Amino acid sequence: MDPQRSLTEHFEANRPRLRGVAYRLLGSLPEAEDAVQESWLRLGRTETAAIENLSGWLTTVVSRVCLDMLRSRRSRREEPIGAEATETSTARGEGADPEGEALLADSVGVALLVVLETLSPAERLAFVLHDLFAVPFEEIGPIVGRSPEAARQLASRARRRVRGAPASANADGERRREVLEAFVRAVREGDLEGLLAVLDPEAVIRIDAAASMSGEAREIRGAAAWAERFLAFSRELRFVQPALLDGSIGLIHAPRGKLSRVVMLGFGDDQVVQVEVIADPARLRDLEIAVL
């Protein structure tokens, strides 16, 4: 077989994995595609006969490209590409379909993507490569310019941030998880009866000004008074996922992995007694979010 054709086929066989690594490192599908393309260009400038493990070499290269992008992003104090920027580039034919990226974020776990954004570039790389793709620390260390043991410590710190405080394992904690799952199911399916079944009849909802369509903070008491309107509003929240919010279980809405709002829940007597919808950027930044 022609060597160039063989090289191309090998690269294409590795592309899904490389894109998966890059997406988790960067949190943006267009940027991930750029990183993968850069690895292909670098491969073309390399004497491949000297590469013993091409798959490993490609993973290392795409990881280094992503690390440079993360460090550059942080040095310029830039946020990762957000929904508006992604949609604009897509409209010009430069990026992936926003719907496709939203589905990808949902499959990866939007809570995980949100928490990964809080890590340093080195922590993020060490955690993603080791915990999600089983790359040994002996290979991760040189990428981040640290010893294998230092890379292990980076991943350990990141792991603590990702997991947060351990969730309660007692009966109350388990029951709250069941109530949360029923709440999420009702929201996603637009099931009014199902939603009312997990709400206390006197449940109150508080919506901050940033999340309110009127631009003013609102408070409505009595589940029957607001549940149907909440479902109508929540049809936009296709990609809500459970998460730990300041140590308590709740929901995050993070289209394409970019945190937009959170829903904090208060529980009592096996039902939800309070719902708080928060979209104010300052309040979102102050929340400690972890994967449930």
Domain range list for the chain: 3-163, 171-290
Average pLDDT over residues 74-84: 52
pLDDT at 248 (0 to 100): 85
d(CA 155, CA 183): 33
pLDDT at 267 (0 to 100): 92
pLDDT at 63 over 50: yes
Among 212, 206, 292, 213, residue whose Cα is nearest residue 251: 292
d(CA 51, CA 26): 26
CATH assignment of 171-290, given 3.10.450.50, 2.70.50.60, 1.10.3720.10, 3.40.50.20? 3.10.450.50
pLDDT at 271 (0 to 100): 92
Average pLDDT over residues 262-269: 90
pLDDT at 213 (0 to 100): 82
Average pLDDT over residues 21-28: 94
**92 confidence band (pLDDT: 50, 70, 90):** very low
**3 confidence band (pLDDT: 50, 70, 90):** confident
Give percent above pLDDT 70 in the chain: 87
**240 confidence band (pLDDT: 50, 70, 90):** confident
**93 confidence band (pLDDT: 50, 70, 90):** very low
Average pLDDT over residues 229-245: 77
**88 confidence band (pLDDT: 50, 70, 90):** very low
CATH hierarchy code of domain 3-163: 1.20.140.160
pLDDT at 91 over 80: no
Among 160, 123, 162, residue whose Cα is nearest residue 144: 123
pLDDT at 83 (0 to 100): 39
Considering Cα of 115, then 118, then 123, then 125, what sign does the dihedral take?
Answer: positive
pLDDT at 78 over 70: no
d(CA 114, CA 252): 9
| Mean pLDDT estimate for the chain | 85
Per-range mean pLDDT, top range of 79-93, 195-209, 235-249 = 195-209
Per-range mean pLDDT, top range of 140-149, 162-171, 224-233 = 140-149
d(CA 22, CA 80): 13
pLDDT at 107 (0 to 100): 80
Q: Which residue has better confidence, 288 or 169?
A: 288
